Amino acid sequence: MGIVIAMVMAEEEKTLSFEPEFPKSRVKKIITLDKDVKRVSSEALFLVSRSTELFLQLLAEKSAEVAIEKKRKTVKLEHIRIAVKRNRPISDFLFDSLPVPLEAAKSDKPAAAVVDRPKSVPVGTRCIDQIFRKSEAEVDAQAQAPEPEPEPEPEPEPELMEEA
């Protein structure tokens, strides 16, 4: 019996893929957006990629469960929001970053009334939007940089009529 279990485990290991699905260069670029990070080791790159995949898999599974509970075939933003609310560790950092559903945005209530409660963030924690936002210096540099003048288009040469 032990041999059978070992054979089954060996087959499962062959089917499992340990190589991350995300492109390494893209993940590395996102990691190095942090000013404090200069270099990324291959092990760290692998761990970040793989943990991101597992996180997204969990989020997709939980959101699909909510959609099935609501008797829907398509996972929508509201299903993701409910799944995030139900899972405390995910809710702690992700819920405030999710967009508000269109139904809540269209209502006559002010935006402050739609938000459940103000969230206190642990010291040293940054919102994910801050990672992708350009710094004020970059924005100022782009605004002050003169735009290149468009090159004038060459005038078309008049066609010569051929005499036949």
Mean pLDDT by 10 residues, the chain (164 residues): 57 64 90 91 93 92 95 92 89 83 57 52 60 62 64 60 51
| The predicted structure's pLDDT at residue 41 | 94
Judge whether 114 and 104 are in contact, CB under 8 Å: yes
Please give the model's pTM, rounded to 2 decimal places.
0.52
Eight-class DSSP state of 155:
P
| The predicted structure's pLDDT at residue 135 | 63
**Helix%, strand%, coil% for the chain, nearest 5:** 55, 0, 45
| The predicted structure's pLDDT at residue 92 | 84
Record the tokens describing residue 128, joined without a space.
């994910």
| The predicted structure's pLDDT at residue 9 | 62
| The predicted structure's pLDDT at residue 160 | 57
Eight-class DSSP state of 96:
G
| The predicted structure's pLDDT at residue 152 | 62
| The predicted structure's pLDDT at residue 164 | 46
| The predicted structure's pLDDT at residue 10 | 61
d(CA 162, CA 36): 70
> What are the helix (H) ranges across 100-155?
102-106, 111-114, 128-132, 136-144
Compute CA distances 10 → 17, 31, 57, whole Å. Answer: 13, 34, 24
| The predicted structure's pLDDT at residue 136 | 66
Give the count of alpha carbons within 13 A of 65, CB side only. Answer: 11
Largest CA distance in the chain: 96
d(CA 149, CA 18): 51
| The predicted structure's pLDDT at residue 120 | 62
Record the tokens describing residue 99, joined without a space.
């967009």
| The predicted structure's pLDDT at residue 22 | 87
| The predicted structure's pLDDT at residue 127 | 62
| The predicted structure's pLDDT at residue 83 | 92
| The predicted structure's pLDDT at residue 60 | 94
